[in-house]
Amino acid sequence: MICSDILLPPHAPERFKDRETLWNEVEKIEKHPKAQLAYSFDIALQNEFTREENMVLARQFLQDEFVSRGMIVDYAIHEKDAGEGGNPNPHFHVMCPIRPLNPDGSWGAKQRREYILDEHGNRIPNGKGDYEFNAVPTTDWGSPERLEAWRKAWADCCNAKFEEKQLAVKVDNRSYRRQGIEQIPTVHEGPAVRQMEARGIKTDKGNLNRLIRATNQKLREIARKIKDLWEIIQEAKAQLEKEEQAARQSPNLIEILIQRWEQRNAGAWSLKAKAKNFNDYSTLLEFLKERKLYRLADLEKYMDGIKEKSNSMNAELKAKSSRMKELQNLIRYADDFKRLRPLYDELNAIKFRKKRDAFYAEHESELRLFYLAKRKLDAVSPDHKFPVPAWKKELKGLEVSYKKQSKELEPIRQELKELYRIKGKIDYILRQQNKEAEQDNKTNQKKEEYL
């Protein structure tokens, strides 16, 4: 214990400064054997403050929040010995008599009667010679609202001190849930449990807190991932809005094509040329309307999608083609290995070098084929148990799939080709319009200079 003291409001008798006198009188004034005598509070001090700062802060808080309301305060400040190890854990205990004091220093009533009235404003008899009533506390000291206010006031005191000392620390009287923090609070362990844990003895509370901390770590990781995902969504949303805005400002393809068609018709000399223009541009317009491509941005985005799809399918076809060639080679190597293995065995059976060299020279081409097949097959099947049926089955499946996918890719290639043709025409028209606009601007500037 660092210190203890009793704080009195101005109208309290001075003799209550003695602890024995105070609590003897509290017990004496209470008649019921089960009467509640005092409110008890345990309040944590801060390791970031010095002992003196904590003592001053505690005393000022009790004076402002308790004594100023007419309460008697008996408090004691505790702090763990530095020699015990661990955190100092400074805190203070407070006891306040429940019964208030009258202005003359005598004990007041804890409750007063509030009679229940009928519809005519008369008291309602209870059948026992008295009237129905509610017992109403004479103070708000025991109310949940007052406790919440005290908790907030203590948090504000600590935070003001943190700010005064320029420390980036804050405390909050609210629960994690009320703060909107997805975190599970740990349970209070107490000195006995902490001492056992320090000696390596696992306890139920210690195990529970370790589980809670591990769970909180997972929750923090999930929260970070959710935050990152939310930022990605917001960026994507902003990008989408930007693209939509750009799309709305993008040139209208239908208007451009119709305008160009009218210009070409105006310059056409024959019905045949006009008919050709009509067919060309009506085909383009129909192509665009079928795909709901009304602006240049829509066309470019659609083209990007088709190109991506085409590139993806081409990459798949290329991979399948490569695998088919690999399988065809493996099947051929396996056939060469099986067919030429007797020659290889016969060569190895010859013991005399000259005869062996002569045999090799006679069958050099076949043996080279065998060695090539053996080298390639050793990389995939060192035990020379070649799964030729499985290779042939896989090859057949790939050939069917390749043929089917090639057929599916053909209309995509044709569509992409048509899109490139339309895009080229649109680009040409826009370039022409830009040239005409530039020429008009130059003409207008010359007119203005002349005038």
pLDDT value at position 247?
57
Tens digits of per-residue pLDDT, 340-388?
999 999 999 998 999 999 999 999 999 999 999 999 999 998 888 899 9
How many domains in the chain?
Answer: 3
Asked if the structure places residue 167 within a domain, the reply is yes
Residue for token pair 């008599």? 97
pLDDT value at position 248?
61
Asked if the structure places residue 189 within a domain, the reply is yes
Q: Residues of the chain whose pLDDT is less than 70?
A: 81-87, 243-250, 268, 449-451
Tens digits of per-residue pLDDT, 206-224?
899 999 889 988 888 888 8
pLDDT value at position 289?
85
Rounded to whole angstroms, the Cα distance separating 130 from 113 reads 12
pLDDT value at position 237?
77
pTM metric for this prediction: 0.48
Domain shared by 143 and 238, yes or no: no
pLDDT value at position 83?
52
Domain shared by 244 and 362, yes or no: no
Domain shared by 221 and 358, yes or no: no
pLDDT value at position 240?
73
Domain shared by 157 and 199, yes or no: no
Domain shared by 19 and 140, yes or no: yes
Domain shared by 191 and 138, yes or no: no
Rounded to whole angstroms, the Cα distance separating 10 from 102 reads 11
Domain shared by 184 and 166, yes or no: no
Q: What's the Rg (C-alpha) of the chain?
A: 47
Asked if the structure places residue 265 within a domain, the reply is no
pLDDT value at position 299?
85
Question: Given 249, 265, 280, which residue is the final one in a domain?
Answer: 249
Asked if the structure places residue 261 within a domain, the reply is no
pLDDT value at position 404?
94
Asked if the structure places residue 264 within a domain, the reply is no
Rounded to whole angstroms, the Cα distance separating 255 from 223 reads 50
pLDDT value at position 81?
66
Domain shared by 162 and 40, yes or no: yes
CATH of the domain at 64: 3.30.930.30
Domain shared by 242 and 363, yes or no: no
Question: Given 122, 154, 173, which residue is the final one in a domain?
Answer: 173
Distance, C-alpha 122 to centroid of its chain: 63
pLDDT value at position 401?
94
pLDDT value at position 228?
84
Question: Given 173, 189, 205, which residue is the final one in a domain?
Answer: 173
Asked if the structure places residue 211 within a domain, the reply is yes
Rounded to whole angstroms, the Cα distance separating 77 from 83 reads 18
Per-residue H/E/C for the chain: CCEEEEECCCCCCHHHHCHHHHHHHHHHHCCCCCCCCEEEEEEECCCCCCHHHHHHHHHHHHHHHCHHHCCCEEEEEECCCHHHCCCCCCEEEEEEECCCECCCCCECCCEEEEECECCCCCECECCCCCECEEEEECCCCCCHHHHHHHHHHHHHHHHHHHHHCCCCCCCCCCCHHHHCCCCCCCCCCHHHHHHHHHCCCCCHHHHHHHHHHHHHHHHHHHHHHHHHHHHHHHHHHHHHHHHHHHHHHCCEHHHHHHHHHHHHHHHCCCHHHHHHHHHHHHHHHHHHHHCCCCEHHHHHHHHHHHHHHHHHHHHHHHHHHHHHHHHHHHHHHHHHHHHHHHHHHHHHHCCCHHHHHHHHHHCHHHHHHHHHHHHHHHCCCCCCCCCHHHHHHHHHHHHHHHHHHHHHHHHHHHHHHHHHHHHHHHHHHHHHHHHHHHHHHHHHHHHHHHC
Asked if the structure places residue 254 within a domain, the reply is no
pLDDT value at position 29?
93
Domain shared by 47 and 160, yes or no: yes
Domain shared by 146 and 220, yes or no: no
Rounded to whole angstroms, the Cα distance separating 44 from 48 reads 12
Asked if the structure places residue 270 within a domain, the reply is no
Interacting residues of 186 by C-beta distance below 8 A, sequence separation 6+? 208, 209, 212, 213
Domain shared by 168 and 306, yes or no: no
Residue 377's domain comprises: 295-446
Tens digits of per-residue pLDDT, 69-118?
999 999 999 987 655 555 678 999 999 999 999 999 999 999 888 888 88
pLDDT value at position 177?
80
